[in-house]
Structure 1
Amino acid sequence: MSTTMAMVGLFWIAEGDVYVGAKPSGHAPGVRLTPEAVVGLGDGQSRLHLWEEIRDLTVSGVPLRTLMRQVGAVKDLALGTVLELAMAGGSGLGGEAPPLMTVGVETADGVHELMTYVAAARGYSETEADLSRSLLARLTEGEATLETTLATMARWGRAWEGGTPRRAEREELLREWLGG
């Protein structure tokens, strides 16, 4: 049985599960959004933040897709390929972990930082990052908004049958989930 998953903005949606950033594996850090709570996953950050206690959600360290980032990625790929070919047995450069983003969960007792891996290899478009941040803020507006929005995202994830949609589709989905 294969798992259907897709990246939409800063969100990774696998079946009916919604994550900020990449879906974690093993002990890797990650952040899952459930109808009950924001859940920190992975070593050192296994923590549950109930929605009724959350005042605000923010994300920092989001790599934005720029022309220079794309040129750099192509250069790094070419350099890595040359090094791999030149060194018998390889250089091990391909095993680097993706960059991390920080999800700030603000409650009455302060801001709690949860780490998650970036899911977009070349970064996120500025529009997708902005829409995603607005959607995260919207989730803290109240129980009805939260339940409706997360349920809509999860329902889309269960129904979606092909990898990550194209950029225009992703932006449209984020706008739809924002209610506009």
Structure 2
Amino acid sequence: MAMVGLFWIAEGDVYVGAKPSGPGPGARLTPEGVVALGDGQSGLHLWEDVRALTMEDVPVTSLKRRMGAVTELALDTVVNLALPGGPGPGGGPPAIMTMRVRTHDGEHELRTYVAAVVGYSSTEVDLSRTLLSRLTEGAATMATTLAAMSEWGRAWEGGSPRVSQREELLRQWVS
């Protein structure tokens, strides 16, 4: 599994945001359409009905965000040493992003977990948004783009690539 921009690619499956587990919210991109996952959201939005995909509440990485993550990790370590069996790392659920799916019958809001602890680079965010827009350009474009993402996911071994590699992959998938 790997994070590339706003996408989480696990083997051949492509998710927007982190891959959800259990009742957690998420969205999966399939050749048929956008699948809403998790408690409180369900359904399949067929590509033929999807007019636009947009993302909101996307955290962009910054020095302040990075320092906050380091500080939180240090505090969690101290609390866990002082109180064995304490709250554990992170202290809560991941942040949430909002994906808006506009179809012929209105706009649908899907919540997804943020996969990047300190946020995404602004370049990754821009490229990811362009890629989501590209998926709505037509069946051939969507099928080719999703196939390339899935194929990469099946071939990739290891964790998420470095930022520069992720940005390059997004550029390839957008072109």
Shorter-chain TM range is over 0.9
Q: Does 1:103 align with 2:93?
A: no
The answer on 1:20 being equivalent to 2:16 is yes
Contact 2:76 2:88 in 1 (8 A): no
Structure 2 counterpart of 1:142, one-letter code:
G
Matches within 5 A, 1:24-63: 24-63=20-59
**C-alpha displacement of 1:156:** 0.6
- 1:81 aligns with 77
Q: Residues of 2 paired with 1:161 and 1:46: CA distance?
A: 31
Q: Distance in 2 between matches of 1:146 and 1:20?
A: 15
CA deviation vs aligned residue, 1:84-103 (integer Å, no higher than 9, x gap)? 22335424564411001011
Q: 1:46 deviation in Å?
A: 1.1
Q: Report the TM-score, using the length of structure 1 for normalisation.
A: 0.93
1:69 corresponding residue in structure 2:
65
Answer yes or no: is the 8 Å Cα contact 2:73–2:89 preserved in 1.
no
Counterpart CA distance in 1 for 2:84 and 2:160 is 36
Aligned residues: 175
Residues 73 and 90 in structure 2, CA contact (< 8 A), matched pair in contact too: no
Check 1:85–1:135 CA distance in 2 against 1; reply closer, same or farther (3 A cut): same
| Structure 1: tracts of 5 or more residues without a match | none
Structure 2 SS opposite 1:111: strand
What residue identity is the alignment partner of 1:26? G
C-alpha distance 22-91 of structure 1, shift in aligned 2 (>3 A)? closer
The one-letter code matched in structure 1 to 2:128 is: S
Distance of 1:160 and 1:93 partners within structure 2 = 28
TM-score relative to the length of structure 2: 0.96
Measure, in 2, the Cα distance between the counterparts of 1:90 and 1:149. 44
Identity of aligned residues (%): 68
- Answering whether residue 129 of structure 2 is matched by residue 153 of structure 1, we say no
| 3-state DSSP of counterpart to 2:48 | helix
Which of 146, 161, 166 aligns to 1:165? It is 161
Unaligned ranges ≥5, structure 2: none
Displaced runs of 4+ in structure 1, greater than 4 A? none
